[in-house]
Amino acid sequence: MTAAATPTPHDGIRMALFSSRIESVARKMQNTLFRTARSGILNTAHDFSCCILTSDCRLLGAAESLPIHTLIGPDLMCEAVKRHHPTLHRGDCFLHNSPYEGNSHAADHCLIVPVMDEDDVLRFFVLAKAHQADCGNARPSTYLADVADVYEEGALIFSATKIQTDYQDNQDIIRMCRARIRVPDQWWGDYLAALGSVRIGERGLLELGREAGFDALNDYAEAWFDYSERKMVEAIRRLSSGRATARTKHDPFPGVPDGIPIKVEVEIDAEAGRITVDLRDNPDCQPSGLNLTEATAVSGAMVGIYNGIMDHTVPANAGSFRCLDIKVRENCCVGIPRHPHSCSVATTNLADRVTNPVQRAIAEIARGFGMAETGPIMPPGIAVISGRDPRHDGAPFVNQLHLAISGGAGTPASDGFLSIIHAGNAGLSRIDCVEVDELHHPIIVSTRRLVPDTEGAGEHRGALAIHGEFGPIEDCDLRVLYTMDGSINAAAGAAGGSSGSPSRALRRGRDGSLTELPACHGLTLAPGERVVSFSAAGGGYGSPLDRDPGLVLQDVAEGWISAERARAVYGVVIETKGNDMAIDNAATRALRQGCATGENGS
């Protein structure tokens, strides 16, 4: 494909106005959802996305939404709506969460509203995707990895289900959800919040259309896509051409006792401004909830590319997507899932196992680009917890915590971003406050701290691991479910950087004793017991021997790394005099020269 035509004079202005309006509408949708949602996963952790698509289902704008939610998927879901409902009307709203038709995992409920003009002609779609605290699964977690298929997973699956006609709820569907989703009032409140969001988006676009005319908006949209494509071509042209194959492996889980090896083949054609990722040579769908959906497989690869090009001014929309070719196949665990395989964990574990090698492969092809690997996700620090709250007459509760997670990868320009959460999230969700979690759930968080010497070393180091520890209060048994990757296969470094520390889960008994826990597990804690979580640290980018000694000194002074590690891994010698620390420049130079020539053997 060739680059888009050069712009006409006025495009530069109209596009700027148009894109600003579209982003503004998407931001209003997000604010509404965040402020009114009932569950912690939405109103505290901000695990949702809002986006706007053209009437032919191309992604136009998504404000600052989770990349794994929005790059690819909203388009496929709007297509599903059109397929199942050839005639659309103003006032319609569709509930969709089918992993087989464009969604991520079933816990992400999407509300889709077709934006119809005065003549009932389809002009845009608005979509809000919100991770539910519960989605009716067989067990109280929105991530069930140890299930053979969707039947064992148990989620309610909705395929473009018309939940509103003429702005009125279909009570039959509301009752279905209330009957099958745990803590139904919480679900109902979250439904209202998402509904408010899509209706506010619809109103904003109708106003825009009345003002500017919908046909003119179409022209602006095309110009905006062309602009985005040109920006992407320009970004890719800064890279080197080449091919690389990168491999990684998801840890063994129930149902996949040998783990899942993943291979990505990345080809950059800098001249043509194109990047191709081939995911087809990977295992078939597995008897596990880890399988990806088409949306998360393709988006996962794309996240690695947008991370790797190091140019955030490229708008991530259907225009810049034209430069990318992500090849997936049917019935593949990182491709298009075949019913009834389960995709219960499709946004996180294996999706990151696609993103991470892509960004590492880019670093291999084009030095100064790409990234190291982000820490694998889902230690108990972000478990789904449930039980009955003794403070509220035993009322049931269920929610995912975002308490103790880190994982940012070293990049060519910066150290790992501490609160990145996981690769597909990009740090856009929030981290819980201890006080909010303790107020809302009958738990006590005894510890949350960074763990020194865990970072993937590098010229730009990975984020440190976080140690979190929590358990139930008196008179409460706490159910904790998690699906932890990265306890065996840690986040790899790139371009000479080293791996971050692995994740780890333990149980602390009433007597303080510690017992190691499995990677994919559910446990019930009695009062006085705690679950102990170590998140996976991020990988490093570039050789640690190239790290600025001043930054190494800063890390030692702050206690992020020990003086011993500074010397052994970074080749920096630090002297301590009273309250002050300083670099021993001469010793550092000698040590680094020795390390570089291999004489010190470290």
Partner 1 sequence: MRLACDTGGTFTDLVVERAGEIRLFKASTVPADPVQGVLDVLGLAAVAFGLDRAAFLAEATTFIHGTTRAINAILTGNTARTAFLTTEGHPDVLVIREGGRIEPFNFMVPYPEPYVPKRLTFEVPERIDAAGRVVLPLDEAAMLAIIERLKELEVEAVGVCLLWSVVNGVHERRVGELLAAHLPGVAVTLSHVLNPTLREYRRASATVIDASLKPLMFAYLDGLTDRLREAGFRGRTLMVTSGGGIMDAEDVARSPIHSINSGPAMAPVAGRFYADRDFGSAMAIVADTGGTSYDVSLVRDGRIPWTRETWLGQRFRGHMTGFPSVDVKSIGAGGGSIAWVDSGGLLRVGPGSAGSTPGPVAYGKGGTEPTVTDCSLILGHIDADFFLGGAMPLDRAAAVAALDTKVASRLGLQVEEAAAAVLALATEKMVGAIDEITVNQGIDPSSAVLIGGGGAAGLNAVAVGRRLGCAGVLIPEAGAVLSAAGALMSELASDYARMLFTTSQTFAHDAVDAVLAELERRCEAFARGPGEGALETTIEFSAEARYPHQIWEIEVPLAGRRIDGPEALAALKSAFHDTHKTIFEISDPGSGVEFVTWRARVRCRLRAAGAGRVPPPAGGADLPASRRVYVAGTGWVEARIARFEAMRPDEPLPGPAIVESSFTTVVVDPGTTAVRTAGGGLRVTF
How many Å apart are CA 497 and CA 513, to the nearest integer?
Answer: 35
Contact segment (CB under 8 A) with partner 1 among 279-287, 307-315, 326-334, 504-512 equals 307-315
User: Cα 370 from chain centroid?
Assistant: 18
CB neighbourhood size of 236 (10 A): 26
Task: Choose between 331 and 414: whose C-beta lies nearer to partner 1.
Answer: 414
> Residues 6 or more apart from 171 whose CB is under 8 A from it?
none
Site string for partner 1, 396-425 (x = CB under 8 A): ------x-----x--xxxxxxxxxxx----
User: Cβ of residue 559: shortest distance to partner 1, in angstroms?
Assistant: 5
User: Cβ of residue 188: shortest distance to partner 1, in angstroms?
Assistant: 8
Contact segment (CB under 8 A) with partner 1 among 34-42, 107-115, 326-334, 591-599 equals 34-42
User: Cβ of residue 407: shortest distance to partner 1, in angstroms?
Assistant: 12
Task: Choose between 55 and 296: whose C-beta lies nearer to partner 1.
Answer: 296
User: Cα 526 from chain centroid?
Assistant: 32
Q: Binders of partner 1 among 73-92, rule CB under 8 A?
A: none
Asked whether the CA dihedral 584, 587, 592, 595 is positive or negative, the reply is negative
User: Cβ of residue 345: shortest distance to partner 1, in angstroms?
Assistant: 21
DSSP states of 551-583: HHHHHHHTTSS-HHHHHHHH---EEEETTEEEE
Per CB under 8 A, the list member of 154, 254, 287, 427 interacting with partner 1 is 427
Per CB under 8 A, the list member of 2, 313, 513, 597 interacting with partner 1 is 313
Tell me which H or E stretch contains 355. helix 349-365
Question: Which amino acid belongs to residue 389?
Answer: D
Q: Binders of partner 1 among 208-237, rule CB under 8 A?
A: 227-228, 230-231, 234
Return the closest-CA partner of residue 418 out of 379, 385, 451, 392.
451
CB neighbourhood size of 391 (10 A): 13
Exposure string (b/e) for 94-122, b if CB count within 10 Å is 16 or more? bbbbbbbbbbbbbbbbbbbbbbbbeeeeb
Task: Choose between 49 and 159: whose C-beta lies nearer to partner 1.
Answer: 49
User: Cβ of residue 308: shortest distance to partner 1, in angstroms?
Assistant: 9
How many residues of this chain bind partner 1 (CB under 8 A)? 98
Per CB under 8 A, the list member of 579, 586, 597, 601 interacting with partner 1 is 579
Q: Does 562 bind partner 1 (CB under 8 A)?
A: no
SS3 330: strand
Task: Choose between 280 and 312: whose C-beta lies nearer to partner 1.
Answer: 312
Q: Does 123 bind partner 1 (CB under 8 A)?
A: no
> How far is residue 280 from each of residues 116, 250, 296, 477, 528, measured CA to CA in Å?
39, 17, 14, 45, 48
Per CB under 8 A, the list member of 57, 236, 385, 428 interacting with partner 1 is 428
The residue written with tokens 């949350």 in the block is 448
Q: Does 324 bind partner 1 (CB under 8 A)?
A: no
Q: Does 28 bind partner 1 (CB under 8 A)?
A: yes
Per CB under 8 A, the list member of 173, 176, 212, 434 interacting with partner 1 is 434
Query: What are the φ/ψ torsions at residue 468 (nearest 5 degrees)?
Result: -125, 150
User: Cα 272 from chain centroid?
Assistant: 29
Task: Choose between 228 and 248: whose C-beta lies nearer to partner 1.
Answer: 228
Q: Does 306 bind partner 1 (CB under 8 A)?
A: yes
SS3 165: strand
Task: Choose between 162 and 430: whose C-beta lies nearer to partner 1.
Answer: 430
Q: Does 316 bind partner 1 (CB under 8 A)?
A: yes
Site string for partner 1, 167-196 (x = CB under 8 A): ------------------xx-xx--xx-xx
Per CB under 8 A, the list member of 17, 138, 216, 596 interacting with partner 1 is 17
Q: How many residues does the chain have?
A: 602
How many Å apart are CA 247 and CA 261, to the nearest integer?
Answer: 7
User: Cβ of residue 484: shortest distance to partner 1, in angstroms?
Assistant: 20
Q: Cis link prior to 340 (omega < 30° from 0)?
A: yes
Q: Does 109 bind partner 1 (CB under 8 A)?
A: no
Q: Which two tokens stand for residue 468?
A: 């979190």
Q: Binders of partner 1 among 325-354, rule CB under 8 A?
A: none
How many Å apart are CA 107 and CA 132, to the nearest integer?
Answer: 5
Per CB under 8 A, the list member of 98, 286, 299, 307 interacting with partner 1 is 307
Contact segment (CB under 8 A) with partner 1 among 115-123, 166-174, 427-435, 484-492 equals 427-435
How many Å apart are CA 435 and CA 409, to the nearest integer?
Answer: 28
User: Cβ of residue 562: shortest distance to partner 1, in angstroms?
Assistant: 14
SS3 122: strand
Task: Choose between 166 and 435: whose C-beta lies nearer to partner 1.
Answer: 435
Per CB under 8 A, the list member of 217, 310, 476, 531 interacting with partner 1 is 310
Asked whether the CA dihedral 425, 78, 151, 332 is positive or negative, the reply is negative
Q: Does 59 bind partner 1 (CB under 8 A)?
A: no
Q: Binders of partner 1 among 231-270, rule CB under 8 A?
A: 231, 234
Asked whether the CA dihedral 291, 103, 352, 431 is positive or negative, the reply is negative
